[in-house]
Amino acid sequence: MSGLRIGGIVAALFVLIGSFLPWATIDMWLGSYSANGTEGDGVITLLLGVAAGVLMGLWKRPLVIIAAVASGLAALVAVANLIDVGRSMGDLDGLADVSPGLGLILTLLAALAGVVLAVLGQAQLAKAGHAAGLSLAELNRGAALPTATLPPQPAAWQAAPAQPAGAWQAAPAQPPAPVAPAAVPPGWHPDPTGAAQLRYWDGTRWTEHVHTQAPAVPPAPPAPPTPPAPPA
């Protein structure tokens, strides 16, 4: 499994954890009070974290981009709440000390990390897909080329003038040229699912790129020699 994929899932998990932790702490002379994230906008970041983690786990190009968007929205929600905490400190005018909680900071940092990892994962998947496309084109070009050139068929045997020294002899038939197997580009291996002949491995997983090679046509057997005519 790709390190970027694992990192994206872990970042989404920390977004979930941060949503349950305190987002703001108020210290007054009567005591202190902590507000958890799920009492407010933490519910939004919780849902966005779940979506980002699932999409990163699926690890497909369109879904990874959506995971980056979900993590970015979670980061915006955390920034907005961080600004609200700063405004509350000014509104209380020293009557209470308001500070951002651990959960809010953790949610913000994890969401930003999720955006970066998702963008890097998208680039990795795009590169792997491009390499698979090039290899598939090479396979198609190799399948279109002739695998072997059939040798010319030997002409029928003709009677030769009588020779006093020996009997007629037929020349040995030429063996057919061997069929050269088509070269398989790097990354293509026998399909473990059996759905196709070859499937592309991008280094981390089996992709949806498959290829089935056309069977090689064996060369036609040479024509049997015509027996020589008896000498006159």
Strands 198-201 and 188-190, how do they pair?
antiparallel
Structure tokens given for 36: 């958890």
Residue 147 has pLDDT above 60, yes or no: no
Distance of alpha carbon 95 from alpha carbon 24, whole angstroms: 16
Does residue 65 lie in a domain region?
A: yes
For 102-111, 195-204, 208-217, which range has the lowest pLDDT when averaged over its residues?
A: 208-217
Does residue 166 lie in a domain region?
A: no
Residues 20-65 have pLDDT tens digits of 999 999 887 777 889 999 999 999 999 999 999 999 999 998 899 9
Average pLDDT value for residue range 153-182: 55
Count of domains observed in the chain: 1
Q: What is the CATH number of the domain that holds 60?
A: 1.20.140.150
Structure tokens given for 192: 């473990």
Distance of alpha carbon 70 from alpha carbon 201, whole angstroms: 29
Q: Which residue has the higher pLDDT, 215 or 118?
A: 118
Residue 74 has pLDDT above 70, yes or no: yes
Average pLDDT value for residue range 188-206: 80
Does residue 196 lie in a domain region?
A: no
Does residue 42 lie in a domain region?
A: yes
Which DSSP category does 163 fall into? -
Average pLDDT value for residue range 65-91: 91
Q: Which domain holds residue 56?
A: 3-127
Residues 102-145 have pLDDT tens digits of 999 999 999 999 999 999 999 999 888 777 666 656 666 655 54
Does residue 195 lie in a domain region?
A: no
Residue 221 has pLDDT above 90, yes or no: no
Does residue 40 lie in a domain region?
A: yes
Does residue 16 lie in a domain region?
A: yes
Query: What count of residues does the chain have?
Result: 232
Q: Is the pTM of this model over 0.85?
A: no
pLDDT at 191: 84
Does residue 77 lie in a domain region?
A: yes
Helices (H) and strands (E) in the chain, counts: 4, 6
Beta strands in 134-175 (DSSP E): none
Distance of alpha carbon 146 from alpha carbon 177, whole angstroms: 13
